[in-house]
Amino acid sequence: MAEKVIGVDLGTSFSCVSVVIDGNPVVIPDKDGNLTTPSVVAFGAENQRLVGWKAKRQMVYNPANTVSSSKRLIGRKFFSQEVKKAREIMPYQIVEGPHSDVRIRVQSQDYSLPEIGSFVLSKMKQIAEDYLGETVRRAVITVPAYFNDSQRQATKDAGEIAGLEVLRIINEPTAAALSYGYGRDLDKKIVIYDFGGGTFDVSVLDIIGDVFEVVSTAGDTYLGGDDIDQRIAGYFAQKFQEAYKTNPLENKLALQKLIESSENAKIQLSMQDEVSVMIPEFSKDANGTMRPLNGTLTTTKLADLIYDLIQKTFKVCDEALQEARMTAGDIDEVIMVGGPTKLPLIRQAVQQYFQRLPQTDVDPDLVVAMGAAIQAAALAESGVDEQPEGTEPSQAGDTTDIKRNPLIKDPGAAAKPSSLLIDVTPLSLGIETVGGFTERLIERNSPVPTDQSRIFTTSADNQVQVKIRVYQGESKKAAENDLLGEFQLDGLRAAPRGDVKIEVTFELDANGILHVTAKDLETNKQQVIRIAASSGLTRDEVAKMKQNAARGVTT
Amino acid sequence: MADALKKDEILGLASVLASLDYYQVLKVDRKAVLNDVKKAFFRESQVLHPDKFFASSDVELKGAVMTIYKRIAEAYAVLRDPEMRAKYDAQIAAGADASKRLEKREAPTGGNVPAADPKAKNSQAQKYLQLGLMALRKGDFSGAEMNLQFALKFEPGNDGIAKKLAEAKEKAKAKGDTKDPYKI
């Protein structure tokens, strides 16, 4: 049997691993039977690391050495708004790295975000290996659909540091769609409403049989369940402040306790209409006396607190439908992904928006990993079906035929469902033109792989060299998009502006990696660069971190 | 489900790809409606999507598949969009020699590094050079010609000034303002 390829949902709050066995995606439990693992890493003495449940349990007592929700920071620049926001609310120390990237400082040691991600991935790899009883070397990992190139590359680096060959990075909502439609021979237009721990994505898909076409995708990479927790925490903090005239959020331990209680309150409101929150030794009042926190939260109050967040998600839905040239009425099915979608108030709002009951058959916490496993199997098994006639793919296990489950009709032959995923690029790609504008070569929601060329001219007289700056994003102003890379083409003929023509070609491969070529059409001289999106780390650093990671102790 | 193609069929298709228009690439009629275009795209994807060959070790085959599929995706992107399709149909109707791919407009590049301005060592030469360059930028080519000539007199061997002078002369001529300074 071919080596298994795992599918990993590397989530903001929780991660999950799955593998396809005999054509069925199976979610792999850890030794305690848990199907998901907290994406939390804690550091103890002597390079000891805690990952998952053990790390989450000690979080309240060890906030400065416990890293959670790190996915919100991966692939981001230190000076970005998102990082600034995180520095205000995260209990751990966030510092600037050597490439204006982000590092997390724990016990005077700096860790890059791909390293933190790799600790979680190593844990998921371990869980799979324990279950399968074999070494796992390859994986498909999911990311929010709206992740840009740097965030994708950083996630890939995390896989590499963890010792995994990442066959493909796929989008979370797409994975959920695969999992929903796999083996069901559907003919439907579906929407995936993916409200995760830290990100929100919407994808519109057209499924016919085993072909899954992503028609459009839109999202917000800084909107998620964490924001709901913070709103609840803010509400209780305000109540406390009114009573005791001091802001409890200035105390990191109190903040950590409050965030945890808020998260629990949110989860309970998925099942009941009212919840009481009680933290015995919460924070000191203005006179230094320790005071408890006592309060209740109702569904109605929560609806009030997060109304604008929910409205924000529908703006994204509008965008995705518009891009797909569809209206809510064209959609046959709405599938909910992510923990917060278990909240009845979110389900009701979604039902109202799409005018139909959202699908509840699928487990919002597990579908993404299962979809990743389905894609992993599809890739691993591709191109090997060219069996010469008459030669059965004989395997050692063939003699066990008699024991086969009688419910599986045609063992071996066509029993396994197949799947083909046609994905799109979530963000437009282009270059900067005169005046600081962006000229798009590849429009967002173009099916990949794809290539596009465009003729550019010089913009100044006697311009003998031209700088090609490659941007990703939707803004007309280049500076408001993400700069992916730049290079120079020189030796152009000195001539009046507009005379010299340069052909620029963008090629986006199935892995979403961009190759850019610029060619002087007079001399045929050309420059090719592979836009190795900067994850914030150099290749050497990744290799070094991989070695270090192998040495560390994880429990 | 469409039948799998043999390797020589795929290589053959890749070799004639440049001569096929988008309709031929998707194997649909010129009058095909949106739904037919979509069905054709799904059908071709099932056979020729690179992921169907992901684990194959045949580099030549994989390369051909990639080339073909990129064109299939492009054909679909154009033909499903009424505006782009209309443009494309007009392009095909305009001439048999027209490119088989949808033509895109030209745009000037940004983030440019224009040729560096020449410099003079002699202070008088530098003064007239600056005046000349300024005139050149304003489009006053005859004024530029005059000042650059002065600059060159103070520093005869300067190549950079000579080139700018030649440029000013050429532009003045093209613009038709070869003013004779002595003419009233």
A178-191 pLDDT per residue, tens: 999 999 999 999 99
A361 belongs to the catalytic site: no
Return the number of other C-beta atoms located less than 10 Å from residue A502's C-beta: 23
**Percent of chain A surpassing pLDDT 90:** 60
CA distances from A458 to A429, A466, A485, B106 (A): 20, 7, 20, 11
Q: What are A420's strand-pairing partners?
A: A211
Return the number of other C-beta atoms located less than 10 Å from residue B8's C-beta: 9
Check residue B56 and report its DSSP letter.
-
| A20–chain B nearest CA distance, Å | 17
- This complex has an ipTM of 0.82
Residue-wise pLDDT tens digits, A241-263: 999 999 998 888 898 899 999 99
Chain B residues in contact with A466 by the CB 8 A cut-off are 109, 112-113
Instruction: Give chain A's radius of gyration (CA, Å).
Output: 25
Q: Residue A139: name the closest of A149, A117, A124 by CA.
A: A124
**Given CA atoms A32, A34, A37, A38 in this order, what sign does their dihedral have?**
negative
State the pLDDT confidence band at B182, using cuts at 50, 70 and 90: very low
List A101, A194, A201, A263, catalytic entry? A194
Per-residue pLDDT, averaged over A78-89, amounts to 89
User: Which one-letter amino acid corresponds to residue A33?
Assistant: G
Residue B43 contacts residue B37 (beta carbons within 8 Å)? no
Q: Residue B111: name the closest of A430, A401, A225 by CA.
A: A430
pLDDT above 60 for A542: yes
Q: Residue A201: name the closest of A320, A72, A83 by CA.
A: A320
CA distances from A307 to A107, A176, A198, A315, B130 (A): 40, 26, 17, 13, 62
Check residue A452 and report its DSSP letter.
E
Q: Residue A423: name the closest of A234, A87, A172, A252 by CA.
A: A172
State the pLDDT confidence band at B31, using cuts at 50, 70 and 90: very high
A9 belongs to the catalytic site: yes
pTM of the model: 0.81
| A214–chain B nearest CA distance, Å | 12
Looking at per-residue confidence, does A551 or B53 come out higher?
Answer: B53
* pLDDT number for residue B172: 79
List A4, A30, A56, A71, catalytic entry? A71
Chain A residues in contact with B171 by the CB 8 A cut-off are 496
State the pLDDT confidence band at A216, using cuts at 50, 70 and 90: very high
Of B41, B107, B113, which has the smallest distance from its Cβ to A465's Cβ?
B113
Residue A494 contacts residue A479 (beta carbons within 8 Å)? no
Looking at per-residue confidence, does A327 or B109 come out higher?
Answer: A327
C-alpha A137/C-alpha A530 separation (Å) is 26
SS3 label, residue B184: coil
Q: Are strands A465-472 and A514-520 parallel, antiparallel or unpaired?
A: unpaired
Q: What are A105's strand-pairing partners?
A: A93, A110
**Percent of chain A surpassing pLDDT 70:** 92
Q: How many residues does chain A have?
A: 555
Tokens 């079906």 correspond to what residue? A385
* pLDDT number for residue B141: 84
Q: What is the mean pLDDT of chain B?
A: 83
Return the number of other C-beta atoms located less than 10 Å from residue A109's C-beta: 10
Domain B2-93 has CATH 1.10.1530.10: no
* pLDDT number for residue B117: 66
Residue A287 contacts residue A247 (beta carbons within 8 Å)? no
Give the start-to-end residue ranges of the domains of chain B: 2-93, 123-175
pLDDT above 90 for A455: no
Residue B106 contacts residue A456 (beta carbons within 8 Å)? yes
Q: Nearest chain A residue to B70 by CA: give it.
A: A450
Residue-wise pLDDT tens digits, B43-76: 999 999 999 999 999 999 999 999 999 999 999 9
Tokens 């003699």 correspond to what residue? A399
Q: Nearest chain B residue to A438 by CA: give it.
A: B110
> Which H or E element spans position A294?
strand A290-298
Residue A158 contacts residue A175 (beta carbons within 8 Å)? no
> Which H or E element spans position A551?
helix A539-551
Chain A residues in contact with B45 by the CB 8 A cut-off are 211, 213, 420, 422
Return the axis-axis angle of helices A225-244 and A299-323, rounded to nearest 10°. 150
Q: How many CA atoms lie within 13 A of A472 on its CB side?
A: 23
DSSP state letters, A365-423: TTHHHHHHHHHHHHHHHTT---PPTT-----GGGGGGGGS-TTSSSTTTT-S---EEE-
Check residue B80 and report its DSSP letter.
T
Phi, psi of A227 (to 5 degrees): -65, -35
Tokens 């009941």 correspond to what residue? A272
Question: Measured in whole angstroms, how far is the alpha carbon of residue A235 from the centre of its chain?
Answer: 29
Per-residue pLDDT, averaged over A489-505, amounts to 86
A vs B, Cβ pairs < 8 A, gives: 143
* pLDDT number for residue A415: 55
Phi, psi of A78 (to 5 degrees): -60, -35
- Contact between B45 and A420 using a beta-carbon 8 Å cutoff: yes
Q: What are A518's strand-pairing partners?
A: A504, A527
SS3 label, residue A429: strand
C-alpha A117/C-alpha B157 separation (Å) is 63
Residue B107, chain A, CB below 8 Å: the answer is yes
C-alpha A422/C-alpha A430 separation (Å) is 22
Check residue A449 and report its DSSP letter.
S
Least confident of A92-101, A392-401, A455-464, B89-98: A392-401
Q: How many residues does chain B have?
A: 184
Tokens representing residue A550 in the block: 């192998």
* pLDDT number for residue B100: 78
* pLDDT number for residue A391: 40
C-alpha A21/C-alpha A129 separation (Å) is 14
Chain B residues in contact with A449 by the CB 8 A cut-off are 50, 66, 69-70, 73
Tokens 């792999």 correspond to what residue? A28
Q: Are strands A24-27 and A14-21 parallel, antiparallel or unpaired?
A: antiparallel
CA distances from A204 to A40, A341, A422, A441, B58 (A): 31, 17, 12, 23, 34
